[in-house]
Amino acid sequence: MALRMINIALRGVEWFFTIIIMALIGNMIADAFHGSAASVNYILFVSAFSMLTLFYLTAAAISESFMIHPIVVCFVDLLNDIFIFCGALALSLKLRVRDCSNEAFTSTNSITRGAPDQEKRCREAQAATAFLWFLWAAFIASTVISGLGIRGTMAEMHGPRPGRRGHPSMAQV
């Protein structure tokens, strides 16, 4: 029961971070006048994928009747882990966290250039990067909880451990 409540709380945190990331990246794309860098577009895909999968993952965390199988939940969590990690890493490496008020940097960086207010775009990219790493940490924790759920169901599927007989022990008689 405690893991279930932690999982529900983590899903809420994941929703919060996903919405913030989508808003920041969506604003960066909307402000761009010559298109956006591929890594920025990828982050928008990551946030959309995360949001779509969170509909299922939240429902499965609240009620087990929505859960197809614990392996599916763990697999979807793992996909989110991989996509978010790749996106956070790509955005951090492309952004090369520098001073956003340095116009020489923002006008030459592939993430920050292409917007009327490059300093604002740089700060949005820095915030999105930070929230991506927080979202990744939350999904890692959810994946661990999902993995613990798989371990419990796999033990039930295999029946009693080898070497144990099917009769009750003396304490149960």
Say which residue, 167 or 27, is predicted with more confidence.
Answer: 27
- Evaluate whether 6 touches 144 at the Cβ level (below 8 Å): no
Domain of residue 68, residue span: 2-150
The pLDDT value recorded for residue 32 is 87
The pLDDT value recorded for residue 96 is 85
Instruction: Name the pLDDT band for 72 (thresholds 50, 70, 90).
Output: very high
Mean pLDDT of 125-141: 97
Any domain includes 163: no
Any domain includes 162: no
Give Rg (Cα) of the chain: 22
54-69 pLDDT, tens digit per residue, is: 999 999 999 888 888 8
The pLDDT value recorded for residue 42 is 96
Any domain includes 156: no
Mean pLDDT of 21-28: 96
Mean pLDDT, rounded, of the chain: 88
Any domain includes 137: yes
DSSP codes joined into one string, the chain: -HHHHHHHHHHHHHHHHHHHHHHHHHHHHHH-SS---HHHHHHHHHHHHHHHHHHHHHHHHH-GGG-S-HHHHHHHHHHHHHHHHHHHHHHHHHH----TT-HHHHTT-TTT-SSS-HHHHHHHHHHHHHHHHHHHHHHHHHHHHHHHHHHHHHHHHH-SPTT--SSPPGGG-
Any domain includes 158: no
Any domain includes 168: no
Domain count, the chain: 1
Any domain includes 172: no
Question: Is pLDDT at 49 greater than 90 in this prediction?
Answer: yes
75-113 pLDDT, tens digit per residue, is: 999 999 999 999 999 999 999 877 889 888 888 888 988
146-169 pLDDT, tens digit per residue, is: 998 887 665 555 555 555 556 666
Any domain includes 173: no
Say which residue, 131 or 113, is predicted with more confidence.
Answer: 131
The pLDDT value recorded for residue 114 is 82
The pLDDT value recorded for residue 58 is 95
